[in-house]
Structure formats: structure tokens, C-alpha cells
Amino acid sequence: MILTVTLNPALDKTLVIGSLKVHDTNRVRALDVDPGGKGINVSRLLKELGSPTMASGFIGGDAGRYIESCLHRRAIRTEFVEIKGVTRTNVAVVEEEVEAPPTTFNEAGPDISAAELDELERRLDPLMREAAMVAIGGSLPPGVPDDIYARIIRLAVDCEAMTVLDAEGVPFNLGLEAGPTMIKPNLREAERMVGRSLKDDRDVLAAAGELQRRGVEIVIVSMGAQGAIAVTPDGAWKSVPPEVEAYSTIGSGDSMIAGILHGLMCGETFDGALAWGSAAGAATAATPGTEIAGREDILKLKPAVRVEKIL
């Protein structure tokens, strides 16, 4: 089983309009509402691919109950801690008449009490003993200490579970010290981590190796349509997905993580798992709004993914 931990999930609303008129009335042409958050997206795609998964974290209020009901309708097991606060709502505005990324409005999230945090850690212990892999990531809601990812990773390591960390800033840096098995920064995140611009594949490969030497077994740097470069103890690979018409990159990185974990759960070699990840990320990019890709779309793209060993 693959356990996902989302401490700051969101109800993701996508509003489709013609073009954004600031300080004026905008008519919404279409509306999509989906459960969101890095771990939740990973669980959703894992379920699409047929891998067993469970989603955990914090939920609260009507928005939280809606997220949990969406996951249950997809037959995804959940073990959330219900909090007094209300799960946040994030809004993305997509302009059909403008070639530009969506405009997003992300709430900070509800305040988490010390008692609610203690309850989550208490529940995670038995879940991690059942899990082969644990995917952790996303922003932290108010009240959660910056070292929480490090604490969760150490708990997973004690349970002999593989860990994946996908976060930013101080929580990520502290989590890195706990030795996660895998990280997957995108290109901009990797540049911030190493403190320099990464202009070509050689630069990305060097940066991934530098991050690996900080105590991470597998480092994958995703580069959108240009593919991904991965460094492992057995060598380095580059994957290039087939060309697709990208509607939204929301959830693509989470989909890549899910595809890789699915491949590993199926017993694939790492290059085979990376092909699953690249196909899943590209398929989600080609899916409008905040929805993640379906199994059939991923299966159609996977044979066209190119993976080559580069070191």
C-alpha cells in the first residue's frame, strides 16, 4: 500500500472565463471542483493506475467532508484527522482567450492545534507499518511546525517504508536532513535549492547529483515538456514524454510521482518506473483544469516516452 500525507489539502475550484477583467465583472463559462493537495493528487492517480493507496492528513468543515466524499466515491481509503477549522479553498482562473498560465488564489489554510497534530502522528504510526511507500508534500497550514516533514520521514524510516518528499522552503530543508528516499523538484525549485541557474541537461545532472549527496537516494528534476533527469545509486536517466497539447500543469508533478511509485510497486526497473511517471505527468498536463489524467490516457502515452541512461 502507498500512503499519502497531505497536511494542507484544498478544495480546488477552476473558473474558466474569456479574459480576466480586473476590477470588473467576469462571466464564468465553466466551473470544475476537485479535491486537491499534493498527496491527495498522488492517491487519485495511483487509484487510476490500480495501485493500492490510502490518503491521510487534516480535513475540516464542509470543504473537508466534500474532499473525503470524493475520494470515497473513487474507492480510495482515507484516514484523516478531522479538525475544528475549515479546509481551505483554492481558486484558479483560466482564460480561454489568453495564452498564459492560470491566475491562482491559494488560501493559507486552517489553524492546526497541538492536539490535532498529536492525533495525526498517533494515527500515522500504524498506517506506516502497513505501507511500503509514503508520499509527503505540499504547504503547511498555520500551527504546524516546520520540522513536521522530518518527523514523519523518521517515523516512516523506522517502519522501513520508502519515502518521497515534495515540498519547498524550510520544511523541505529540514525534511531533507531526515533522509527521504526520493525528492522531485521541478527545474525552478532545483535552481533555488542549489543557488544557481540550470541552463542545460549537464547543469541539471550536476545539480541532481549535488542534491543526492545531501543524503537522498533518488533525485528527479522535472522539466515540463523537456522531460526529467533522474539520479539514482545505479546511474542517471533522462526521460522525454511525447508532445501533448498542455491545458494545465496543475497536478502534473504529483502525477509524475504517482506514476513512478506505481511502476516501482509493479516491480519495474527504475527506467521503467520513470516512463510511467513521464506518461502520467504529460497526460495530466493535457487534462483541463485541476482534474488528473485517466488510466487510458496514460497508457496511450507511455509507449511513446523515451528513457535513456545518461550516466
Burial class from Cβ neighbours inside 10 Å (0-12, 13-18, 19+) for residue 146 reads middle
- Contact predicate 280/298, CB 8 Å: yes
Cell of 228: 526529467
Sequence-distant (≥ 6) Cβ neighbours of residue 267 within 8 angstroms:
none
Sign of torsion, CA 135 137 143 146? positive
Cα–Cα dist 214/147, whole Å = 17
Q: Which of 34, 166, 203, 254 is catalytic?
A: 254
- Report H helices in 18-113: 38-49, 61-73
Sequence-distant (≥ 6) Cβ neighbours of residue 24 within 8 angstroms:
none
User: What backbone phi and psi angles, to 5 degrees, belong to 131?
Assistant: -90, 140
Rg (C-alpha) for the chain, rounded Å, is: 19
List, in sequence order, every beta strand (DSSP E) within 18-166. 30-36, 53-59, 77-82, 88-95, 103-105, 133-137, 162-166
Q: What stretch of H or E contains 307?
A: strand 306-309
Based on the residue annotation, tell me whether 254 is a catalytic residue of this protein: yes
By annotation, the residues acting in catalysis are 254
